[in-house]
Structure 1
């Protein structure tokens, strides 16, 4: 009887061992699966031009101006573009002058309103409703304050550049001014304004449509520019900062 009881105890232990081994292996595999380093999933944020984090519509203000620039309402955007093109054609192709156009437009508007008012009195109808335009003092102060802040900011930047405190800004401003002077010698001011207006109505909508491709190409171009600037900085700008005499001593 004792031998039979010992054999039954041994068989029970042998039957329990695989189960425990399976349970421990399943626990170890489960713990390995739950480890954060077991299957790393790194989210790489794509490069965006000008390091922006918001959509193009929000960057442009999320208002009516942004809707027109991004062609949310094609009729309004097409009307604005057609009006700008007509004004440019009047001044550049037909040869109209700004003062002449303003005076003749006012003359025509006043003549139509005057005849309309007289006709309404003769046929006993109410005269045309002309809205009153009043610029509030609050709006005028707000516009003046915004202009003052912008002018003060521009003056501070120009003063900083003139004192030689930021060489990168100095080179950037010189490059922009040189480009503007070159363009200004080729076209007049009205054509330059029209080109700028056309750019605002075409570039944002094209960028929003081909955003990923443009950002990828811009990332490569900026990396190439940074490499070239690093070489230029090491060979030229560092000599300007230290001065030629100090460079010779070293």
Structure 2
């Protein structure tokens, strides 16, 4: 739609200026350029799948939780808007986030490290509690088996 609208506006502006609109009747996409585009898309999709598998299979809880939180936030925001609004927000964020990161890189890195330390402490605490409960249940089962014998 954007391409068609752009060509429409471009040709009408040229007509207003008294120039000939471009002749697009011989415009064609070669098989080679289509294959190159398909290979590039395939490579990006494979990279995304590898990243998803890495995040889901490794024991890096921070990467997993940030990914889940980011997807949840995206789904939450998407429930209030449509695709064009999301694309607009994505473009604006893509243009502003790198500039902000470059300007405040040291503060952002310190904050990320602090969050990593806190999240690892929380996950270790949760793991210890779960492991203690599992050990208690295993010991209780073993004691019951011994009593039955």
State the Cα deviation string for residues 9-60 of structure 1 (Å, max 9, x = none): xxxxxxxxxxxxxxxxxxxxxxxxxxxxxxxxxxxxxxxxxxxxxxxxxxxx
Q: What is the SS of the residue equivalent to 1:216?
A: helix
Larger helix proportion of the pair: 2
1:116 counterpart = 2:116: no
2: CA distance, partners of 1:230 / 1:189? 39
**Cα RMSD over matched residues?**
3.8
2: CA distance, partners of 1:148 / 1:222? 33
Residues 138, 191 of structure 1: alpha-carbon distance in 2 compared, 3 angstrom cutoff:
same
Partner of 1:248: 137
State the Cα deviation string for residues 95-125 of structure 1 (Å, max 9, x = none): xxxx5x76665444334445523xxxxxxxx
Partner of 1:140: 34
User: What stretches of structure 2 of length at least 5 have no aligned partner?
Assistant: 140-149
Q: TM-score, normalised by structure 1?
A: 0.40
Which structure has more relative contact order (CA 8 Å, sep 6+)? It is 1
> By how many angstroms is 1:235 displaced?
2.9
Q: TM-score, normalised by structure 2?
A: 0.60
State the Cα deviation string for residues 113-168 of structure 1 (Å, max 9, x = none): 45523xxxxxxxxxx7779866454443222112113333444666788xx85564
Partner of 1:71: none
Residues 227, 150 of structure 1: alpha-carbon distance in 2 compared, 3 angstrom cutoff:
same
Q: Which has the larger radius of gyration?
A: 1
Correspondence for 1:228 among 116, 122, 129? 122
Partner of 1:184: 78
Aligned residues: 133
Q: What is the SS of the residue equivalent to 1:116?
A: coil
1: CA distance, partners of 2:28 / 2:11? 19
User: What stretches of structure 1 of length at least 5 have no aligned partner?
Assistant: 1-98, 118-127
